[in-house]
Amino acid sequence: MEQETTFYEELQANDELDLRDRRGKKHDMAFILLGVMIGLLRNRDGTLSSIHRCMVNTHARLCELLSLDIERVVSRAQLPRILENVNQVLFEQLLLSFFNIELSEHERQWFAGDGKELRGSIEKGDKRGEVSVQIVRHEDGAVVGQAFYNGTKESEKPCLQELVETTGVKKQHITADALHLDPAMTALVEQAGGVFVIGLKDNQKDLLQDMVDHTNAFYAKVTHATVDKGHGRLEIRKYACFDISQEYFENRWNNSGFRSLISVQRSRTVLKSNESSEETAYYISNGKSGKALEYFEAVRNHWAIEVNNHYRDVSLKEDKFRTKKKPITKLMASARTLVLELFRRWKPSNVIAQMERFQDCFDELIGALRKINFL
């Protein structure tokens, strides 16, 4: 179903988005947020000063194109004071509503869950800062859910579990790193009728050893191999799926429904130097071994979330953006999520090249935003 109002109109219509005292307000919150997102789309991420200069340089033309009469641009000193008063929860709800990803129980999809540290939020003397946790669709990198936690005080595991619960992904298919191999997570998905494929490493030492012993004692139900050549490397992956439905597991795993064990043997050769490396990774699932080929593909496609993180760091310069104000850190992370969704819809062959084109041709950017009902 097509969205009836534009995203910008949704921002304008929600007075609760602005947490500032209503007395003496001179600048419209929706217009400021639009300016920030336009700055990101024009490759100005990394510093708030660069984003502000973009807002100044495009102010007159933006007002003309939107038929707005806004005389003054927000000052550089006032910009962070306004941004830290954005209702982050409501902004998250609006941007996820704009994504409009429907979860069907009849046609279930694969999603990846993972966290990414916002390095610019790490304060002097600390080793951790604010962390963004996302659930990303394998197929196209679309974000279905996002949350934050403070790495010095909280853990990623309950944060992702809550996202899996609240977004409805617990009824879908989900992949996650070994950190999330926890009875709370596996039982949540199993009891909801979903399927998980989660990494198995030394953080579950006894379980890992039991599963390695299983691969040595029993034959795999399904095997598969892939050969990839590119970026100066030759990579061979040998997949195997074992039926572990009759294995004994500790009582804490009783509600997890373990049924399949997946091993992936990766062999890499650097073609120029002929240097080789080999490793074996293990994954555990509540899915039946009869769908092993689907699980093999899911293991490979889990990297969809890493691709998103790469865009955030390389294209949008997320790690370079530094501020001591936590609300601004979270807001900018959410704005980047929205910007990546816009690029996902536009599907440019090169994201950075497209941002540079938007720098050179501001009217083209406005036209592109109007085509997808953003403006």
Residue entry with tokens 């310069």: 317
Two tokens, residue 1: 């179903």
* Sheet with 130-137, side-by-side order of all strands: 143-150, 130-137, 110-117, 173-176, 195-200, 275-285, 260-270, 233-243, 222-230
pLDDT, tens digit (0-9, with 9 covering 90-100), for 328-361: 999 999 999 999 999 999 999 999 999 999 999 9
pLDDT, tens digit (0-9, with 9 covering 90-100), for 211-229: 999 999 999 999 999 998 8
The pLDDT of residue 3 is 54
Residue entry with tokens 């130097």: 273
- Decide if 180 contacts 160 (C-beta within 8 A): yes
- Decide if 8 contacts 35 (C-beta within 8 A): no
Residue 239 has pLDDT above 90, yes or no: yes
The candidate with the shortest Cα–Cα distance to 48, out of 72, 20, 83, is 83
Residue 128 has pLDDT above 60, yes or no: yes
The pLDDT of residue 267 is 93
Residue entry with tokens 């892939």: 226
Residue 2 has pLDDT above 70, yes or no: no
Residue 110 or 119, more confident: 110
The pLDDT of residue 1 is 43
Dihedral angle of Cα 80, 54, 65, 9, to the nearest 10 degrees: -30
Spell out the domains of the chain, with CATH numbers in brackets.
7-95+328-371 (no CATH), 101-310 (3.90.350.10)
The pLDDT of residue 61 is 94
- 96-125: average pLDDT: 81
What confidence category does residue 154 fall into, taking pLDDT thresholds of 50, 70 and 90?
confident
The pLDDT of residue 324 is 80
